[in-house]
Amino acid sequence: MVKFNVNGERYTLDADPDMPLLWALRDLLGLTGTKFGCGIAACGACTVHVDGEPVRSCVMPLAALEGADVVTIEGLSSDSTHAVQAAWIANQVPQCGYCQSGMIMAVAGLLGSNPQPSDADIDAAITNICRCGTHQRIRAAIHDAAAKV
């Protein structure tokens, strides 16, 4: 049994302690905004916040979450008005959109710890992969969101 909070709601899960958080979120809690990409923490499509820090949920075992606070894309903003989400829309960032929930969560984490990141800071912190190649629009959206944080 693992007890933790997701998007402000308390959960107790009776599941394999080695189960990755990603599958608990999607399969047990029905929160499908967090996406599966690679399964090895390389692409970032599964990024969520655990205790305020961006993490790759595909490799985070439930056993490591006892008492933790998890925020998914569904919990970032109830109406998609978070500064990063608004900047994503204004800059027309997504093409296919598959990686965007993880990308948005990674950027929200970056801006939480560094509200005015330089391009070098962005390069160092945002290692998520966008196969559509919208990285220039992503960078512009990050700077736009930083101006509003």
Per-residue pLDDT of the chain (149 residues; tens, 9 = 90+): 999 999 999 999 999 999 999 999 999 999 999 999 999 999 999 999 999 999 999 999 999 999 999 999 999 998 989 999 999 999 999 988 899 999 999 999 999 999 999 999 999 999 999 988 899 999 999 999 999 87
Q: Tell me which of 50, 76, 102 is where a domain ends.
A: 76
- CATH number of the domain that residue 55 is part of: 3.10.20.30
pTM over 0.85: yes
Same domain flag for 47 and 91: no
CA dihedral 137, 139, 141, 143 (to 10 degrees): -150
- pLDDT at site 68: 98
Side-chain-facing half-sphere of 99: CA atoms under 13 Å:
24
Q: Tell me which of 76, 94, 117 is where a domain ends.
A: 76
Count of domains for the chain: 2
**How would you class 67 by CB atoms within 10 Å of its CB: exposed for 0-12, middle for 13-18, buried for 19 or more?**
exposed
Task: Judge whether 105 and 48 are in contact, CB under 8 Å.
Answer: yes
What is the 8-class DSSP label of residue 1? Answer: -
pLDDT in tens, 54-81: 999 999 999 999 999 999 999 999 898 9
Q: Tell me which of 59, 76, 93 is where a domain ends.
A: 76
What is the 8-class DSSP label of residue 19? Answer: S
Q: What are the backbone dihedrals phi and psi of residue 27, each rounded to the nearest 5 degrees, phi first?
A: -85, -35
27 Cβ contact list (under 8 Å, min separation 6): none
Same domain flag for 105 and 126: yes
- pLDDT at site 78: 86
What is the DSSP track for 77-140? -TTS-SHHHHHHHHTT--SS-TTHHHHHHHHHHHHHH-SS--HHHHHHH-----TT--HHHHHH
Could you tell me the residue range of the domain that residue 127 belongs to? 83-148
- pLDDT at site 5: 98
